[in-house]
Amino acid sequence: MKKIINDPSHLLEEMLAGIDYAHGDKLERIKDTNVIVRKNKRQGKVSLVSGGGSGHEPSHAGFVGEGMLDAAVCGEVFTSPTPDQILAAIKAVDSGSGVLLIVKNYTGDVMNFEMALELAEMEGIEVDQVIVDDDIAVEDSTYTAGRRGVAGTVIVHKILGAAAEQGLSLLELKELGDKLVEQIKTIGVAIHAATVPEVGKPGFELADDELEYGVGIHSEPGYRRESIKSSREIAEELISKLKQEFNWQSNERFGVFVNGLGATPLMEQYVFLNDVKQLIEAENLQIEFKKVGSLMTSIDMAGLSLTFVKLTEQEWLDYYHAPVQVTSWGG
């Protein structure tokens, strides 16, 4: 294993210190916690909190700022943050209008965020949550009851973040989030697994001429392993699964997000998007936005995921295009 790190047991602490130093103009770390919050907290709006295990950078701290999240809670690598850390984030960003938690559907995350929600309510803070379960590859995988929450979570951050900035209530944001999650579907593929620094070896082994469809962002297994394919053939496989899930019709409106899983260069992500484009044109879908980049990673996993968002409401597209001031959303 080759990593540019020091002691693996200090990895989270040193990463957070680096984030705090690099982006101190926009973000700050709450002392003695693993919580990153936006500076210049805006009063009078619902605050958004997300997070999870580290190893998915820039998720989630890279999306803290005006127009997206108010706080991100960082657990150890591939490990949910603890309820006390989540509670600290809730208390730090609450401005009296309530707090919405955006939670990826992993058993540890769901349990710990739920416990923090209950603790916050005991202190008189109004809290609700949206559970993201966009991964269509498998049901009830490792660490998960039901479908996993993966790259589509970033789209939820963006749309709900804009809606919160525009003044929607906690109830309205909860209803919007639940409706939105129903229309977000993701599926991934890997050609090399992630290596957790404290473990020192990949989460699963693939031969040089193999890939695996449907892997999770913690190196969980997918639904099929086979010999390596071209970008075009991979796109055909993933599009076929998304089509089956959405049962889409000609001229329906979608957004498309190609997400790198950590070690896949942008060159390959753009090649893949071009293949997706040609398949979409054959389906006669209307694509309203395209996003490309490594935004929900799995440390050094080589692979990518493809997310489709069915845009059933015009306001979702308006929220998607609203301006943001965060470190990692890009253009």
Enzyme catalytic residues = 56, 218
Residue 221 DSSP symbol = -
Comparing C-alpha atoms, which of 10, 96, 92 is closest to residue 51?
A: 92
Comparing C-alpha atoms, which of 129, 76, 119 is closest to residue 99?
A: 129
Integer angstrom CA distances of residue 13 from 55, 125, 198, 220: 13, 29, 14, 25
Instruction: Measure the CA–CA gap between 117 and 41, rounded to whole angstroms.
Output: 20
Which positions ≥6 away from 34 have C-beta within 8 Å? 12, 16, 73, 74, 75, 81, 85
Contact present, 231 and 272 (Cβ < 8 Å): yes
Amino acid at 327: T
The SS3 call for residue 249 is coil
With b meaning 16 or more CB within 10 Å and e meaning fewer, what string describes 4-22? eeeeeeebbeebbeebeee
Q: How, if at all, do strands 286-293 and 47-54 pair? A: unpaired
| Radius of gyration of the chain from its Cα atoms, rounded to whole angstroms | 19
Tokens of 176: 């919007």
Instruction: Measure the CA–CA gap between 245 and 122, rounded to whole angstroms.
Output: 40
Instruction: Measure the CA–CA gap between 70 and 46, rounded to whole angstroms.
Output: 9
Instruction: Measure the CA–CA gap between 191 and 205, rounded to whole angstroms.
Output: 10
